[in-house]
């Protein structure tokens, strides 16, 4: 792999818009494993691809441990096993998001109702 294919720690943070603390944490929990040359870290295509998957999983609300397990399945068992694990995880997350959506819709309706009642009370005061 040429040096052109690798990003430094700072470049990795900038590319993925994460803080240094986040990137170090992902390394600590073994989601990513950069190459090291002395104290300098370098991130190749594999680590960048993993980072994209991590951030996509986070945007869908997956826990980091779920993402870590999914990445381990891919490394240990291959693509088919990873795809099956992903479908199972996605089904669970879809159910969880449906519950959250219902809760948000209820909160939205109640807040709108309370606002309207308050606006009406204010208009009666003037």
pLDDT digits (tens, 9 = 90+) for 70-97: 888 777 777 887 788 888 888 999 999 9
Specify the 3-state DSSP secondary structure of 20.
Answer: helix
Q: Phi-psi category of 78—alpha, beta or left, where left has phi over 0 and alpha has psi -120 to 50?
A: left
pTM exceeding the 0.85 threshold for the entire prediction: no
Q: Per residue in 24-57, pLDDT tens?
A: 999 999 899 999 999 999 999 999 999 998 999 9
* HSE (side-chain half, CA atoms, 13 Å) at 110: 6
- Residues of the chain with pLDDT > 90, as a percent, come to 69
Specify the 3-state DSSP secondary structure of 30.
Answer: coil
Which of 85, 30, 84, 91 has its CA nearest to residue 60?
Answer: 91
Residue 3 scores a pLDDT above 90 = no
Contact status, residue 64 vs residue 32, Cβ threshold 8 Å: no
Domains of the chain: 3-96 (1.10.1660.10)
The residue behind tokens 């040359």 is 37
């Amino acid at each position: 792999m040429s040096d052109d294919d690798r990003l430094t720690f700072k470049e990795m943070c900038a590319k993925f818009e994460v803080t240094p603390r986040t990137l170090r944490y992902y390394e600590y929990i073994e989601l990513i494993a950069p190459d090291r040359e002395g104290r300098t870290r370098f991130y190749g295509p594999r680590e960048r691809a993993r980072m994209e998957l991590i951030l996509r999983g986070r945007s869908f609300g997956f826990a980091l441990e779920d993402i870590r397990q999914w990445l381990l399945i891919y490394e240990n068992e291959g693509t088919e096993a990873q795809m099956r694990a992903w479908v199972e995880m996605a089904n669970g997350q879809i159910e969880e998001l449906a519950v959250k959506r219902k809760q948000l819709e209820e909160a939205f309706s109640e807040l709108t109702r309370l606002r309207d009642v308050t606006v009406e009370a204010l208009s009666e005061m003037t």
